[in-house]
Structure 1
Amino acid sequence: MGPQIFLFVLATIYLSSHAQYDAVANPILQLRLLSGAGGHRIKGVNCLSWRLAVETNNLQGWKLVPQSCESYVGHYMLGKQYRLDCEAVADAAIEYAKTVKPAADGKDVWVFDIDETTLSNMPYYARSDVQFGAIAYNDTKFNEWVAEGKAPAVPAIRNLYLKVQSLGFKTVFLSGTAEKFTGIRIANLHETGYDKWEKLILKGEDQHGKSAVQYKSEKRSELVKQGYRIVGNVGDQWSDLIGTNVGSRTFKVPDPMYYIA
């Protein structure tokens, strides 16, 4: 069975938060249920175990989702379990945030990644020529998608974002998105409910060639030199959460579709 058969739209659904439909329209594609979608062994690969190894960073440097796990990853990312997992991350982060009292100087910040953390690229990764990371990354096609400025919010992480702001923390976006998309990213964030932030840090031309760990470590170090204290750090990649000045606590959003070193 080719991927084009099961990647057709059955219905338009919305990413939900706490079992409620999202107030912001976030259309994504739903797949038909397939054998193996629950994580059963397919062609020698246990896809649930593979995803566990990815999320725990036991499997590193991988390039593609195993072709036999494409349907499993697709069902996970577009299904209830992914939303519940994101909510579990957000709930844990909120409980931690409640234990920290922001200082009066306004220098306590939470750092948020963008792709697959605050904004979702599911409408892109569900396409038949992308197949949830089972086909090699195409920089041109992905940048064309980013330029559309239509990425929906990840509701649970947006709720976390708004909650830490209500508790008195400043928020900072730190992303590997190229600076040329600054205007598009700002509009996309505003349209999906991210209404304010202390800083939006995107990747400049002088940062190309650096690994994500190096780039994000340097930018976090700059924040610290400016007097900011990183209370929390949220990202979908381990490279968002390791290196220097990672913050007092880090929180990983699930993402079995790709690996960024």
Structure 2
Amino acid sequence: MASLLLLLFLAAITVTSQSYGSEFSIPRQIHLLRPQSGAAGSHVPGVTCLSWRLGVETNNIIGWKTVPAECEGYVGHYMLGQQYRADSKAITDEAFLYAQSLKPDGDGKDIWVFDIDETALSNLPYYAEHGFGADPYNATLFNKWVLEGKAPALPESLNLYRKLQSLGIKIVFITGRTEDQRTVTTNNLKKAGYRSWLKLVLKASSYSGKTAAFYKSSERAKLVSSGYRIVGNIGDQWSDLLGTNTGNRTFKLPDPMYYIS
């Protein structure tokens, strides 16, 4: 299954086109894959995979370790297919509509917090190769992938980033990546199209053993105490968006591949 998905993914990345009606043209690095017939009907005992994904995205199914084995194909086809892109666009479109309604003070203190993995950057090439279920996450292999610095932008997030900057809103990245990955992360962001930002916050060793929600809340609190106003916050994990100082509005991108508390 993983080999088939990877083959189809690699075939798709040769195609370029304009992103969904956006004023910006972005190479299609994450692309359409027609779901196999019946994929949406895959199920775990007592629940369809579509219902399982709904439970995950609404934060009703929590603390899970891996995608159910029966749903690996469904999740893979969703993530590499049109619906994931459409869902991401629906979220970022709404985020921009909200941003347009704001009345900035013009003092440079309005900021928007972005997560990085599966938000600003996509690791779909990694998952397409290693699979979407049965514990695809391997710390050694994933860190090797990160150090390659080849993660493409999620096009919908890159569009939002550019539009927010055009409104005078500054960008702050807060990521679970660690300080030793600062250089490669900086280079990867720039290569993917994120040319500038106010701050890039990486996880310090002092947060070892703490949850992602605690770490991100703490770092957001530092921003607020420095006089910044978090007008928006976008991420793929609920731990990006819960806790304290979450911002005036939060926006949850889809991600049924893994759960981070």
Q: How does 1:213-228 map to 2 (within 5 A)?
A: 213-228=213-228
| 1:23 Cα deviation after fit | 3.1
Q: Which amino acid aligns with 2:200?
A: L
Quote the Cα distance in structure 2 between the aligned partners of 1:166 and 1:189.
Answer: 18
Q: Report deviation, 1:7.
A: 3.3
> 1:184-212 CA distances to partner (integer Å, 9 max, x unpaired)?
11111111111110000001112221100
- Aligned to 1:17, the other structure's residue is in SS state coil
1:202 aligns with 2:205: no
Q: For 1:163, give the aligned amino acid.
A: K
Among candidates 26, 29, 46, match of residue 26 of structure 1: 29
For residues 250 and 174 of structure 2, the distance between their equivalents in structure 1, rounded to whole angstroms, comes to 14
C-alpha distance after superposition, 1:29-62 (max 9, x if no partner): x76743432x114353411111010000110101
SS at match of 2:177: strand
Q: Which residue of 2 aligns with 1:160?
A: 160
Verify the 8 A CA contact 2:235 2:253 in the aligned structure 1. yes
**Contact 2:19/2:26, CA 8 A, preserved across alignment:** no
Pair 1:96-2:127 in alignment: no
**Compared CA separation, residues 256 and 191, structure 1 to 2 (3 A):** same
Contact 1:133/1:258 (CA < 8 Å) preserved in 2? no
The equivalent of 2:43 in structure 1 is: 42
Quote the offset at 1:131 in angstroms: 1.3
Distance 2:2 2:152 in 1: 24
Cα distance in 2 for partners of 1:34, 1:88 equals: 24
Paired with 2:123 and 2:60, the residues of 1 have a C-alpha distance of 24
Query: Where do 4+ consecutive residues of structure 1 move more than 6 Å?
Result: none
- Counterpart of 1:216 in 2: which secondary structure? helix
Structure 2: which amino acid aligns with 1:205?
A: S
Whole-angstrom distance in 1 between the partners of 2:190 and 2:237: 23
Shift of residue 136 of structure 1? 5.0
Q: For the residues of structure 2 that align with 1:5 and 1:106, how far apart are their CA atoms?
A: 48
Q: In the TM superposition, what whole-angstrom CA distance separates every residue of 1:44-101 from its partner, at most 9, and x where no partner exists?
A: 3411111010000110101110111111101110111100111000100000001111
Q: Partners of 1:22 and 1:150 in 2: how far apart?
A: 20
Change (3 A) 1:25 1:150: farther
Q: Which residue number in structure 1 is paired with residue 128 of structure 2? A: 126
Partner SS, residue 171 of structure 2: strand
Residue deviations 1:142-196 (CA, integer Å, cap 9, x gap): 1000000000000011111111110011110000001111111111111111111
Aligned residues: 255
1-structure distance, mates of 2:239, 2:213: 5
Q: Using a 3 Å threshold, how does the CA distance of structure 1 residues 41 and 137 change in structure 2: closer, same or farther?
A: closer
Alpha-carbon offset, residue 138 of structure 1: 1.3
Check 1:229–1:8 CA distance in 2 against 1; reply closer, same or farther (3 A cut). Answer: closer
Report if the CA contact (8 A) 2:221-2:245 is conserved.
yes
After TM superposition, the score normalised by the length of structure 2 is: 0.91
Q: Which residue of 1 aligns with 2:212?
A: 212
- 1:106 and 2:104 matched: no
Unaligned runs of 5+ in 2: none
- 1:188-237 per-residue CA deviation (whole Å, 9 max, x = no partner) reads 11111111100000011122211000000000000001000000000000
Q: Which has the higher strand share?
A: 1
Q: What are the residue-to-residue correspondences of 1:137-148 with 2, within 5 Å?
A: 137-148=137-148
Say whether 1:86 aligns with 2:84.
no
Secondary structure at the residue paired with 1:137?
A: coil
- Supply the AA of the counterpart residue of 2:135: I
Normalised by the size of structure 1, how large is the TM-score? 0.91
Counterpart of 1:236 in structure 2 is: 236
